[in-house]
Amino acid sequence: MRISFSMVVKSALAALFLLLAGAAGAQQQVIFPRDELSIRTAGGETHRFSIELALTDAQRQQGLMYRKEMAPDHGMLFDFGDVRRVSMWMENTVLPLDMLFIQADGTISHIRENAVPFSRDIIDSQGPVKFVLEINAGRAKALGIGVGDKVIGKRIGNR
């Protein structure tokens, strides 16, 4: 069988089309409901955040992947439905993030500051939690948010 130059070009274009179509599908955004929450620090300060909610498996899998920016007072709250040990990673996540691991009553039990973009390293909750709040890297430190502080919101159930 003789392969012509035009057959090679057509095959290459078809492969490129399929590759681009797959990449576009992988970056397709899931719709997230919105809400607000506050964090009350041990020092008595209250910081308000506008958040997106990751409630379903599809939403939790998508998370903040592919996002290139996020306002300083925004974040994403992952609700895992029950209290359990949680593992996360930063694959396909462009933004560096602070991850606040939150118990069912809203108490912050662990903070992973400056999670590295695109990393496949596992980030562990270091104990059972019900929620994880992702905010821009450096915000927890800048706002004085620490372990033991309280996250308050309708979704948390303590508002």
The tokens describing 137, both together, are 């890297």
The predicted-structure confidence for 51-81, as pLDDT tens digits, reads as follows 999 999 999 999 999 999 999 999 999 999 9
The predicted-structure confidence for 3-39, as pLDDT tens digits, reads as follows 555 554 455 555 545 444 444 444 556 899 999 999 9
CATH code, domain carrying 128: 2.60.120.1140
Q: Distance between CA 158 and CA 43 in Å, rounded? A: 19
Would the pLDDT of 96 be above 80? yes
Q: Is residue 1 in some structural domain? A: no
Question: How many structural domains are present in the chain?
Answer: 1
Q: Is 7 helix (H, G, I), strand (E, B) or coil?
A: helix
Structural domain range at position 147: 30-153
* Pairs from 54-63 (Cβ < 8 Å, separation ≥ 24): 54/78, 54/79, 55/79, 58/30, 59/30, 59/32, 62/29, 62/30, 63/93, 63/134
The predicted-structure confidence for 103-157, as pLDDT tens digits, reads as follows 999 999 999 999 999 999 999 999 999 999 999 999 999 999 999 999 999 999 9
* 117 close to 78: Cβ distance less than 8 angstroms: no
